[in-house]
Structure 1
């Protein structure tokens, strides 16, 4: 067994948002996402085939949902996003790492 730390190996510079698959088994995927001022492109929406439970471990972010109110997240906040619920990241703190843990099931 190898031990790892969710806050290790975060690059000093990030041109794009970083998605790292930590575990992937049948109908389960767990990934670490690092944002630093990154957002989803303006006219794009995530429309995923699976449910996504996500917790913000560090930083702050705003999630936008199609035809619904935005949701502001701070460290420790989590949300469950049902499959095919169109959403996007509309803001993350530009001057610090926003560390997400996402569970797709």
Structure 2
């Protein structure tokens, strides 16, 4: 017996609308998938960085890959910055305090971030 439910599908291109007519100074964050405690986001940074003294401290783990541009992450307690170029990825465990020290302002830095419990 076949199910009468149709499979759902969502598709797109991670680079669509990147770098087109920015209207705010904020990063562009688009949730692509949210299911069962997992969130996948596309983040487009164009020169943004964490404010001085600000640290992310998420209750969920985050795996992030930089697809284009350039960035530098900093981790609380680690004196060495973590520069990133396209293709670099990092797993940030839950409650690992970190910040974005730099993103390129000459080309968009496109991130794919996966958050999970």
Check whether TM > 0.5: yes
Taking structure 2 as the reference length, the TM-score comes to 0.85
Structure 1: where are the runs of 5+ without partners? none
- Counterpart-to-counterpart distance in 1, 2:32 and 2:10: 12
Runs of at least 4 residues off by over 6 Å: none
Would you say 1:5 and 2:13 are equivalent positions?
yes
How far 1:40 moved relative to its partner?
Answer: 0.9
Task: Report the count of equivalent residues.
Answer: 105
Shift of 1:26: 1.9
TM-score (normalised: structure 1): 0.95
What's 2:70 paired with? Answer: 60
Q: CA deviation at 1:23?
A: 0.5
SS across alignment from 1:83: coil
Q: How does 1:15-34 map to 2 (within 5 A)?
A: 15-34=25-44
What is the root-mean-square deviation of aligned Cα atoms in Å? 1.0
Structure 2 unpaired stretches of 5+: 1-8
How do 1:1-105 and structure 2 match up within 5 A? 1-10=9-18, 11-13=20-22, 14-68=24-78, 69-105=80-116
CA distance in 2, matches of 1:38, 1:95: 11
More strand by share: 1
Quote how far apart the aligned CAs of 1:3 are: 2.4
CA–CA separation in structure 2 for the residues paired with 1:88 and 1:27: 23
What is the alpha-carbon distance in structure 1 between the residues aligned to residue 28 and residue 17 of structure 2?
11
